[in-house]
Amino acid sequence: MNKADRSRHYQDRVRKAISKPRLQDTLHRFADAYVVAREAAFAGQDFEALRTAIGEMKDEVRDNLPRYRDEFIANAEAAGAKVTIARTAADANAYICNLAKERGVKTVVKSKSMASEETHLNHALKDAGVEALETDLGEWIIQLAGEKPSHMVMPAIHMVKEEVAELFSKVTGKEEPAEILHLVRLAREQLRQAYLDADMGISGANVAIAETGGIALVTNEGNARLTTTLPKIHVALVGMEKLVPTLEDANRIINVLPKNATGQLITSYITWIRGAVPCGDGDKELHIVLLDNGRSALAESPHCRDALRCIKCGACANVCPVYQTVGGHVFGHIYISAIGVILTAFFHGLENASELVRACIGCRSCVAVCPSNIDLESIILHLREVIGEEEGVGAGKSIVFKNVMRNRKLFHGMLRAASVLQKPVTRGERTIRHLPLFFSGLTEWRTLPAIADKPLRDLWKNIPQKVEKPRYRVAFFAGCLNDFVYPEMGIDLVKVLNHLDVEVTLPLEQSCCGVPALYSGDKDTAVAMAEQNIDAMLKDDPDFVVTSCPTCTMALQRDFIDLLKDNPVWAEKAKSLAEITIDISCFIADKLDGAESFGKAIKAEKVTYHDSCHLKRGAGVWEQPRRLIADSGREVVEMAHSDRCCGFGGSYSFTSHADIAKHILGDKIKDIEASGATCVAMDCPGCMMQIHGGLEKQEKTVRVRHTIELLAENLDD
Amino acid sequence: MEKFIIAARNVGADVHVLSKPEDIVAYIDERIDGGLMLSPCPSLKHAGLSAMLKTAGVDVVEEDFRAHGAGAAAGLTGANFGIAATGTVVLESTEEAVRIATTLPEKHFVLLDPRKILATADEAVPLLNDFHKQMPQAYLAYITGPSRTADIERVLTIGVHGPAELHILLLEGVSDDVMER
């Protein structure tokens, strides 16, 4: 399929998924329950310490794989197992199918195995004339439906009970009621005899333990225990990344896995199996297939190899706003959601991953809950660069990034021109409610702010600064939105900082932080922008560089370092800039200790706070702005899901995935309204644009303000 | 023991503290309608349960579990030890009979001496190590509550493929050996 067809096909699937409100409802309800259950399950445990330890242990195995693999094989074979290494999916399938043929196997019962989904084992068995029956309830349902799993742990979460009843009715030949208990019991009855009749049982493994040569299975239903007990032959298909050195390491993973997957303290069953255990009159025949299928290549990729730490808990899907909107069949291939994007690229080829790589909105909610400490977002960004290099970033974007953005004067000149050209659609107002013709889709569900008549850089020299003895001199990195769309926020920032005896400069050589190019996969432009901005911001040797946009903050604090780390001229400068860069709320609350310096607002307004993704999960800042708002005499009321993405994501909501962005914004607006606040505050001009646009389009009266604007209001009073 | 009981009940197990072997027989007799697979565990033998159950009229199955297949109504096993934090019972299940008695029937009765309750899963790791050292082939099972699924619309439903009921009978004095097999 060519790129254009593939994209169109993908967009079609997005639209279809969005038109299923029950799917979204199920996923949202699960996500809410999950967050509560997960927190309770980890009560009293140090999640950061647990995940750091798991990450380190997994890295140790990856870096010394031949040693641990050989230790596992030796111990497993000493216990009577036969171990084989399958280089590819086809090799694994061929081994299992040949074994089935040699032993005259007619039917196979399977317990849940994502590795077998990865290799399409059921198809291979069918072609070999062997009937494979899935016994995990969710897997059986999707097998009957002829579908793929839509979640690693809950494969049939996309289906409703009526659909399941319809499938089961076809099995029994009579109409089965859509009652969940009835359907579950029916599955039990239908599959019972199959375990006893099957000639072979196939399972996966959650861990493979080098020091014992055994495997462990983490399950709830009991089907894996039957699958690994009753048939004479047991085949375990195990991804190579499941290897751990010791029982203690296995215990470490098993402690975390159910808690992070579904919020359970432990699953009903943890089963430790080593070797050819007794079966009927003799011993069982145990075959362990260790699957590579792209894992070695992944281990060799310095940018992506952390993905091998994954313990397949599925949490990255549970918390993902994109997943919650479109489900795993759209935001996934075989493996789904954030980890799925990465594993798909390596296990199933880049072409199957390229749409998924762009579908990530970059909110980092997955990074916050990953039990193996994988920076999923950074890896996805890297893959976006790779795809950008392989396929190009799109002709329109390419021209803008390469020819316009890298040239600050031209870029800013075009923004100024846009300010004039937009007049017919703004009608002199500050927001654009409707756009003509083919742009109309962009303002169908949110208004857009107009580009200001005069950008902040033009107003700057006329902004009075009254600081007699400055405590600090700081340089303001305004970012495009603050400079060209919300210049009044810059004026407020000066007022607020002057009040705290801080003098502010606006280095005029600064330009876009480069994130739009970076997130679209154009690394070269991002590097050029990083260099330009480092020079501009360090030029006058400021005490601090303050930012009002968390995405810019991440660029200055994190991305510039990464982009320039191999460049001896720039690496140190990038580090120097990162060290003095700080977002404005954190600067006021922590560095200036200024939370109580603004008196009390005249009106004790109810304010709810929206945590911007890159501020909370990027910079780790969430408490400071709340403190500033509360201490300034306002009542902070929490909305539900305050740290859930608003759906902006920069170009994500404009060009690539407007449909998804619109739904995520809809969720946010509901939460804001339900909080009862009359003002929603945040620390990101991008979120402001999105949330204000959505509220205004729906004609809601809730005010949208940057924290800095609220503080400035106190000074005006 | 209290922690263990609370945790086990939280995940849907029935937990009862009994004072003598006769109580086990009475407890099971009240709740069984069909054959009872009696697994070959030392603590059950030690408590003399086979004869007592038969005397009480329970249809006790002691061999060829496979042939009884899905027919038996319940299984009775011992437990090597328990884990208080999660309400888990741990069974060395390498003998096929133990596995069948704990997977195929609707009900699983498990006898645990409360002296063998550990605080956390971390404390079980050295025991797992010992089992692996003593046994070339091993099948060890952590069982926590009855069989469950939430695969349809995320609704928690009990009793899919494994036992729908897990009855944990706590009786002091049957065994203090965590490694028994």
A590: helix, strand or coil: helix
Host domain of residue A309: 3-32+295-391
Quote the pLDDT of residue A436: 53
Quote the pLDDT of residue A161: 94
- For residue B112, is it within any domain? yes
Angle of the A137-145 helix axis to the A180-197 helix axis, nearest 10: 90
Residues in chain A with CB shorter than 8 Å from the CB of B121 are 251, 254-255, 266
- For residue A418, is it within any domain? no
Quote the pLDDT of residue A441: 62
What residue ranges of chain A have pLDDT lower than 50?
437-438
**The domain spanning residue A232 has which CATH number?**
3.40.50.10420
Among candidates A192, A193, A277 on the partner chain, residue whose Cβ is nearest the Cβ of B139: A277
Residues in chain B with CB shorter than 8 Å from the CB of A214 are 132, 138
Is A557 in contact with A581 (CB distance < 8 Å)? Answer: yes
Residues in chain B with CB shorter than 8 Å from the CB of A276 are 137
Answer whether A138 touches B (CB < 8 Å). Answer: yes
Q: Identify the burial level of A21 via C-beta atoms within 10 angstroms of its C-beta, where 0-12 means exposed, 13-18 middle and 19 or more buried.
A: exposed
Q: What distance in Å separates the CA atoms of residue A58 and residue A307, rounded to the nearest whole number?
A: 10
Is the Cβ pair B161, A226 closer than 8 Å?
yes
- Among A151, A225, A257, most B C-beta atoms within 10 A, so best to mutate, is A225
Is A406 in contact with A525 (CB distance < 8 Å)? Answer: yes
Read off the tokens for A61. Answer: 């195995």
User: Do A287 and A301 reside in the same domain of the chain?
Assistant: no
Quote the pLDDT of residue B127: 97
Read off the tokens for A705. Answer: 């303000």
User: Do A92 and A141 reside in the same domain of the chain?
Assistant: yes
**The domain spanning residue A464 has which CATH number?**
3.40.50.1860
Quote the pLDDT of residue A651: 76
Å between A20 CA and nearest CA of chain B = 15
- For residue B103, is it within any domain? yes
User: Do A584 and A618 reside in the same domain of the chain?
Assistant: no
- Among B99, B135, B143, B161, most A C-beta atoms within 10 A, so best to mutate, is B161
Q: Find all residues with CB under 8 Å of A438, minimum gap 6, and list them.
A: none
CA distances from A278 to A215, A231, A406, A651 (A): 16, 11, 69, 60
CA distances from A457 to A169, A449, A578, B128 (A): 69, 18, 23, 68
**The domain spanning residue A328 has which CATH number?**
1.10.1060
- Among B64, B100, B152, most A C-beta atoms within 10 A, so best to mutate, is B152
Is the Cβ pair A30, B159 closer than 8 Å?
no
Read off the tokens for A554. Answer: 């991440």
For residues B111-125, one letter each, b for 16 or more C-beta atoms within 10 angstroms of the residue's C-beta and e for the rest, the string is bbbbebbbeebeebb
Among candidates A137, A247, A255 on the partner chain, residue whose Cβ is nearest the Cβ of B160: A137
Q: Which of A591, A616, A649 is the last residue of a domain?
A: A591
Residues in chain A with CB shorter than 8 Å from the CB of B161 are 135, 137, 187-188, 191, 221-223, 226
Among candidates A29, A160, A220 on the partner chain, residue whose Cβ is nearest the Cβ of B149: A220
Is the Cβ pair B86, A164 closer than 8 Å?
no
- For residue B157, is it within any domain? yes
CA distances from B114 to A706, B91, B98, B107, B177 (A): 59, 14, 20, 21, 11
Is the Cβ pair A274, B88 closer than 8 Å?
no
User: Do A14 and A55 reside in the same domain of the chain?
Assistant: no
pLDDT digits (tens, 9 = 90+) for B39-72: 988 888 888 899 999 999 999 999 888 888 767 8
User: Do A327 and A374 reside in the same domain of the chain?
Assistant: yes
For B53-75, the DSSP string reads HHHTT--EE-S-HHHHGGG-SEE
Q: What distance in Å separates the CA atoms of residue B133 and residue B123, rounded to the nearest whole number?
A: 17
Q: What is chain A's percent helix, strand, coil content, to nearest 5?
A: 55, 15, 30
Identity at A648, one-letter amino acid code? F
Q: Half-sphere exposure of A457 toward its Cβ, with a 13 Å CA cutoff?
A: 18
Q: What is the chain B residue with the closest CA to A155?
A: B151
Host domain of residue B59: 2-171
Among candidates A78, A184, A247 on the partner chain, residue whose Cβ is nearest the Cβ of B125: A247
Residues facing A81 on adjacent strands: A286
- For residue A37, is it within any domain? no
Nearest one of A430, A350, A384, A326 to A647, comparing CA atoms: A326
Number of domains in chain A: 4
User: Do A129 and A266 reside in the same domain of the chain?
Assistant: yes
User: Do A481 and A626 reside in the same domain of the chain?
Assistant: no
Q: Which of A336, A361, A391 is the last residue of a domain?
A: A391
Is A151 in contact with A189 (CB distance < 8 Å)? Answer: no
Is the Cβ pair A251, B141 closer than 8 Å?
no
pLDDT digits (tens, 9 = 90+) for A533-581: 999 999 999 999 999 999 999 999 999 999 999 999 999 999 999 999 9
Q: What is the chain B residue with the closest CA to A138?
A: B151
Q: What distance in Å separates the CA atoms of residue A95 and residue A128, rounded to the nearest whole number?
A: 12
The ipTM assigned to this model is 0.97
- For residue B179, is it within any domain? no
Model confidence at B84: pLDDT above 80: yes
Read off the tokens for A240. Answer: 């190579």
Answer whether A183 touches B (CB < 8 Å). Answer: yes
Q: Can you say whether the dihedral through the CA atoms of A65, A69, A72, A74 is positive or negative?
A: negative
CA distances from B180 to A363, B62, B93, B108, B127 (A): 52, 19, 11, 19, 11
Identity at A506, one-letter amino acid code? L
User: Do A186 and A82 reside in the same domain of the chain?
Assistant: yes
pLDDT digits (tens, 9 = 90+) for A439-470: 556 677 788 888 888 999 999 999 999 899 99
Answer whether A694 touches B (CB < 8 Å). Answer: no
- For residue A508, is it within any domain? yes
- What one-character DSSP code corresponds to residue A277? -
Residue ranges of alpha helices (H) inside A392-443 are 395-399, 408-421, 423-426
Quote the pLDDT of residue A625: 98
User: Do A284 and A313 reside in the same domain of the chain?
Assistant: no
Quote the pLDDT of residue A433: 65
- Among B83, B153, B156, B168, most A C-beta atoms within 10 A, so best to mutate, is B153
User: Do A283 and A312 reside in the same domain of the chain?
Assistant: no
For A507-522, the DSSP string reads -TT----SHHHHHTT-
Residues in chain B with CB shorter than 8 Å from the CB of A247 are 125, 128-129, 132
Q: Which of A334, A359, A391 is the last residue of a domain?
A: A391
Residues in chain A with CB shorter than 8 Å from the CB of B86 are 265-266
Which carries the bigger pLDDT value, residue A451 or residue B143?
A: B143
User: Do A643 and A666 reside in the same domain of the chain?
Assistant: yes
Give the predicted TM-score (pTM) of the model: 0.91
Quote the pLDDT of residue A427: 64
Read off the tokens for A123. Answer: 């198809």
- For residue B180, is it within any domain? no
User: Do A177 and A323 reside in the same domain of the chain?
Assistant: no
Is the Cβ pair B144, A266 closer than 8 Å?
yes
Number of domains in chain B: 1
- For residue A564, is it within any domain? yes
- Among B92, B137, B165, B181, most A C-beta atoms within 10 A, so best to mutate, is B137
- For residue A600, is it within any domain? no
For residues A94-125, one letter each, b for 16 or more C-beta atoms within 10 angstroms of the residue's C-beta and e for the rest, the string is ebbbebbeeeebebbbbbbbbbbbbbebbebb
- For residue A501, is it within any domain? yes
For the CA atoms of A640, A674, A700, A24, the dihedral, rounded to the nearest 10 degrees, stands at 60
- For residue A429, is it within any domain? no
**The domain spanning residue B71 has which CATH number?**
3.40.50.10420
Answer whether A222 touches B (CB < 8 Å). Answer: yes
Is A688 in contact with A704 (CB distance < 8 Å)? Answer: yes
Alpha carbon distance, N-terminus to C-terminus of chain A: 62
